[in-house]
Amino acid sequence: MLCRRKFNFLILLVIAFYTSVLFSGCAVRASYRVYDPAYEDYHAWNRNEAVYYQRWEVESHRDHKEFRKRNSDEQKEYWTWRHAHHDENR
């Protein structure tokens, strides 16, 4: 009887672990919309946009910082650069 309880407990632990792994994987793919006031449009901030943002940081010799933590002047500089570097998916 005791062995069966340990086995059931182990199964529940395994299920809980894999459930958390599956749901955390979904969070990585999530995107959100960012408003560009200079161009009065929205951009989906996803992996594709993150790649462009990292490229902008490198080309403009900036240290990495989350976009939402940049001041409005730096955000405006990014959107100006970004509109000049359109991709095919837009």
Residues 56 and 13 placed together within one structural domain of the fold = no
Compute CA distances 48 → 44, 55, 73, 85, whole Å.
9, 11, 22, 13
Structure tokens at 24: 């955390």
Which pLDDT belongs to residue 3? Answer: 77
pLDDT for 80 equals: 93
Same domain, 78 and 46: yes
Predicted local confidence at residue 16, as pLDDT: 65
DSSP for 45-61, written as a single string: ESHHHHHHHHHHHHHTT
Query: Are 2 and 25 in the same domain?
Result: yes
Number of domains, the chain? 2
Same domain, 42 and 66: yes
From the first residue on, what is the mean pLDDT of each consecutive set of 10 residues in the chain (90 residues)? 69 63 53 88 92 96 95 94 75
In a domain, 89, yes or no: no
Structure tokens at 38: 């200079």
What pLDDT is recorded for position 38?
Answer: 85
In a domain, 9, yes or no: yes
Do the domain assignments include residue 65?
A: yes
| The predicted structure's pLDDT at residue 5 | 78
Residues 25 and 67 in one domain: no
Is the entire prediction scored with pTM above 0.85? Answer: no
**Which residue range forms the structural domain that includes residue 11?**
1-30
pLDDT value of position 18? 63
